[in-house]
Amino acid sequence: MTLQAIKYENGTLEVLDQLLLPKESKYIPILGVEDGWKVINKMQVRGAPAIAIVGCLSLAVEISKEEFEKKKALRREVEGKLNYLISARPTAVNMKQAADHLISYINSLDNDESVSAQEMQARFVAAIEAMLEKDISDNRSIGEFGAKAILNNVTDGEQVRILTHCNTGSLATAYFGTALGVVRCLHSASRLENCYFTETRPYNQGARLTAYELVHDKIPSTLVCDSTVAYLMKTAQINAVVVGADRVAANGDTANKIGTYQIAVVAKHHEVPFYVAAPLTSIDFNVNTGDNIVIEERPQVEMTHINNIRIASPGVTCWNPAFDVTPARLITGIITEKGVFRPSELSTLQSQLQDHKNS
Ligand code: MRU
């Protein structure tokens, strides 16, 4: 089994410190929301789905230890702490979506007079725990839909060459992954010739984390520098690019790890299909276009140093946005657990989801 980013059992939570990988596999105990906020903010745990799951589980751990006589007190605590957790990192929308869902759930429990404070607490914790299983099953569906879409464009039996960016695997989710889940599905169907993946400077999610997962699973793969992408597409006949997402706007513009946009531009130039693989919880229908997505800027030290060793000249000024926005027109399809959609189809998907909710 691949290293798990998140270990949760009976109210006990530990997360793998991803800053130490691949040198060291050390788990950090999370005793409550404050610890959850810190590991997300410091990027010891990262990846949009994993951020949401760890944030919510840290709340489950905290409230499991408390006793609530009044339902209102539990509701107030939950609301305040979920809003605090959202502030740990601004770009990925999954934590916000999870918070909105859980706040509306706790309100419904609060309004239901047949539910006691103890039952409300138990049901709320169970709703958080269910997120882990749902993420794994959603990832498997994303993997299957994505593999099918990519194989639709090639001849029967042909093996494909994929390019991915950042880390979107077991370490960024509850397990299996989104874009890397697509790669895993292609490999298990014996249809993957090679998965190329970028280093993903400055945090090196590719070189440290994706490399770790691909080598562990014995998936044929090749690490390339971020600056190799154009030359790779010119020379290696890439069949498709698949990346993850931190937030997809209603028009399909997609915020993802810095460097994604330039890969999409190059893919367009070389007529390589460009897919975004993400659960529905990464789609933010409240944001019309990518222009309204807040892009997190990280400290300069992440660029100037690697493992505490300075690599940039002292005194230099850096600009370190953690994400960029790929315009919808460069995206072939958005692979979700409900199927693959063109960016222009997201508005129809939104109405279908709304109808489903109301029925
Ligand atoms: O800064 P990070 O490492 O949290 O950024 C991660 C990404 O950009 C991933 O591509 C995205 O969150 C999807 S993870 C399934």
- The per-residue pLDDT for range 346-355, each reduced to its tens digit, is 989 998 888 8
256 close to ligand 1 (CB < 6 Angstrom): yes
Q: Which pTM value belongs to this model? A: 0.96
Average pLDDT over residues 284-290: 97
Residue 152 structure tokens: 């639709």
In the three-class reduction of DSSP (H, G, I as helix; E, B as strand; rest coil), residue 10 is classed as coil
Q: Is the CB of 46 under 6 A from ligand 1?
A: yes
CA of 89 to the centre of ligand 1 (A): 11
Q: 3-class DSSP state for residue 333?
A: strand
Instruction: Using the mean position of ligand 1's atoms as its centre, give its distance from the Cα of residue 169 in Å.
Output: 10
Summarised one tens digit per residue, pLDDT across range 145-203 is: 999 999 999 999 999 999 999 999 999 999 999 999 999 999 999 999 999 999 999 99
Averaged over 62-73, what is the pLDDT? 95
3-state secondary structure (DSSP) of residue 113: coil
Alpha-carbon span 167 to 32, nearest angstrom: 26
Q: What is the pLDDT of residue 353?
A: 87
Residue 242: which of 284, 308, 186 has the closest Cα?
186
Give the Cβ contact number of residue 169 at 10 Å: 31
Residue 129 has pLDDT above 70, yes or no: yes
CA–CA separation, 51 vs 36, rounded Å? Answer: 9
The amino acid at 311: I
Question: Given 110, 135, 138, 246, which residue is catalytic?
Answer: 246
pLDDT above 70: residue 1 = no
Does any ligand 1 atom lie closer than 6 A to the CB of residue 168?
yes
Does an H or E element contain 276, and which?
A: strand 274-277
User: Is ligand 1 within 6 A of the CB of residue 44?
Assistant: no
For residue 75, the CA-to-ligand 1 centroid distance in Å is: 30
Looking only at the bridges linking them, the beta strands covering 192-198 and 160-164 are parallel
At 313, the pLDDT band (50, 70, 90 cuts) reads very high
* ipTM for the whole predicted complex goes beyond 0.90: yes
Active site residue 324: no
